């Protein structure tokens, strides 16, 4: 079993913001697996799929970004899963826009959603797929930037990054080794 969680904010006004890249990417995962977000549980919208006969839970927490850990903790408990079963997809201001970076563990960096998850589940040892959003030409406070909408000229770049992140998540759900997925999708 794998639980793939995309971080974001639930309100429509945040739908096209940088901070919703995780939501967008898990939407791509669900579409590629042919499933829909049909139920609400564990403070998340949830879709269930299968990859190679293994159950895959795809979730979009509705707790808002800073409380994402609450939903992740509930999902792990409900599905009797561990951090080894967890894949988190989220935007990362610390890496250049449009890049995808996969790591088997690590710190939260500047991301409050990741800080919440690490605090709630008491470990940072879980796979994360980061979608870079940093634009070196933009000089505004991080909070204003992450909650701003993706510029039209960058739309295709972020669609491609979201798609790559979704493919990486599915590869991990298939049981491919993290190191191989990192080699194939990082960059």
Residues with a known catalytic role: 19
Phi, psi dihedral angles at 59 (to 5 degrees)? -135, 145
| CA gap 115, 157 in Å, rounded | 27
Burial of 99 (0-12, 13-18, 19+ CB in 10 A): middle
| CA gap 118, 128 in Å, rounded | 12
| CA gap 110, 77 in Å, rounded | 27
Would you say the C-alpha torsion 47, 174, 4, 14 has a positive or negative sign? Answer: negative
Measured CA distances, 28 to 108, 115, 123, 176 (Å): 24, 24, 27, 19
Measured CA distances, 163 to 59, 122, 147, 158 (Å): 17, 30, 21, 8
């Amino acid at each position: 079993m794998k639980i793939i969680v995309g971080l974001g904010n639930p309100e429509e006004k945040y739908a096209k913001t940088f901070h919703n890249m995780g939501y967008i990417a898990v939407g791509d995962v669900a579409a590629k697996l042919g499933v829909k977000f049909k139920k609400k549980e564990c403070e998340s919208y949830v879709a269930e799929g299968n990859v190679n006969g293994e159950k895959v839970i795809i979730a979009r927490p509705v707790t808002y970004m800073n409380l994402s850990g609450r939903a992740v903790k509930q999902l792990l408990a409900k599905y009797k899963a561990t951090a080894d079963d967890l894949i988190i997809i989220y935007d990362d201001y610390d890496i250049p826009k449009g890049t995808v970076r996969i790591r088997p563990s690590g710190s939260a960096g500047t991301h409050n959603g990741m800080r919440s998850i690490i605090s709630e589940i008491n470990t940072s040892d879980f796979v994360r797929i980061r979608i870079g959003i940093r634009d070196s030409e933009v000089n505004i406070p991080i909070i204003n930037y992450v909650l701003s909408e993706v510029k039209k000229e960058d739309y295709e770049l972020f669609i491609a990054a979201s798609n790559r992140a979704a493919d990486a998540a599915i590869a991990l759900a298939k049981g491919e080794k993290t190191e191989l997925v990192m080699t194939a999708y990082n960059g």
